[in-house]
Each structure stands twice: as structure tokens, then as C-alpha cells.
Amino acid sequence: MKIYTRDGDKGNTSLIGGTKVPKNDFRIEAYGTIDELNSWLGLINSQDIDKHDIDVILKLQGLLMTISSHLADEKKILAKPHMPDDQDIEWLEEEIDVLDKYITHLQSFVIPGGHPVVALCHVARSICRRAERRLVPVIVKLPELGISMKLLNRLSDYLYILARKVSKDFNCEEKIWNPLF
């Protein structure tokens, strides 16, 4: 089997199960953006960061792969892992709480940057927010995938806190947005 099928040359693709859809179908938009997010997480994980952070991100990447497989499998024909559940959400909230204790609280917005890894975390965070937006039409039609929205919402919070924690790890000065300058 070749990697190319030529089916996409006219702007169409297939869901798992064979249903042909345009490449901008709501499912494709959702799992394509999640795939993009997952790639950015892989880039973060290839940096010189804390081992625990690497392990957390790797688990999150697996959860994103699971969500994508459910989004792509319209006819539910694949044997695949269970969707993330409330325990996964609670685990991620606990990870956020741990990182939150590590940083100082702010009364303003942080300007992304200061260190390449911090900037990568902010890029991933903004893509995660886009993935949330792309997921809205999916969960309207497929409410059983609603847990995916919870996970992405927590993941964007996690990436924000991770950016701040990594900034501290690398002893970088955070640039705080001052709306008056």
C-alpha cells in the first residue's frame, strides 16, 4: 500500500470507514488542529525541560491521539482506547495545581516569549484554543465526545502555567503586558 492515494488532490479525504468528506469537514478541522497541537507538544518535549514535564506532555499526547482516533472513526469500526474521562481531567487539574504553586500570581497578562521553550508553550496554548473552537461543531453533533472539550480546555490552562513555570526554570524575566505603554 502506498502512502499516497491521490484522493485528496481534489480537496476530499476519507474518514475511517470510508466516508468521503471535504478536507474542511468539521471533523477533519478538529482532528487536524489536534494533530497540529500534538506536533507542537512533541517539539516542546524535545527541548531540555524537566523530566516530569516531559512525562506529563507525553501522556497528554497520547490522550490527544485517542481523541483524534475517535473523531476520525465515523462508523466506530476501530478497536481503540477509551476516550479520556473524568479521571484524566482530575489528573490534569492536579498537574496544573502543582505548577501553579511554583509560580507567582499576576494581575496582568504575560507577553509570550523570553525563552524559546516558553514561546513554544505559548504557541501550543494558542493552537489548543483553536482546537477547542474547532471542536464546538463536533460536540454539537456528537455530544458523546464532549469530554474532549474539557480536556482541551484544561490543556490550554496547563500550557499557560507550564510556560510560566519553564520561564522560572530557565530564570527568564517574564514580560508583563502594560496596557498603558
Q: For 28-70, write each residue's pLDDT tens digit.
A: 999 999 999 999 999 999 999 999 999 999 999 999 999 999 8
pTM of the shown model: 0.90
Which of 66-70, 103-107, 110-114 is predicted least confidently? 103-107
Query: Homologous superfamily of 7-176 in CATH?
Result: Cobalamin adenosyltransferase-like (1.20.1200.10)
Q: For 137-149, write each residue's pLDDT tens digit.
A: 999 988 888 999 9
Task: Compute the half-sphere exposure of residue 4: CA atoms within 13 Å on the CB side of its CA.
Answer: 2
% of residues, the chain, pLDDT over 70:
94
Q: Average the pLDDT over 100-114 and give the result.
A: 85
104 torsion bin: left (phi>0), alpha (psi -120 to 50), beta (else): beta
| In the predicted structure, residue 11 carries a pLDDT above the cut 90 | no
pLDDT of residue 92: 98
Report the sign of the C-alpha dihedral through residues 147, 148, 149, 155, in that order: positive
pLDDT of residue 77: 60
pLDDT of residue 181: 59
| In the predicted structure, residue 78 carries a pLDDT above the cut 70 | no
18 torsion bin: left (phi>0), alpha (psi -120 to 50), beta (else): left
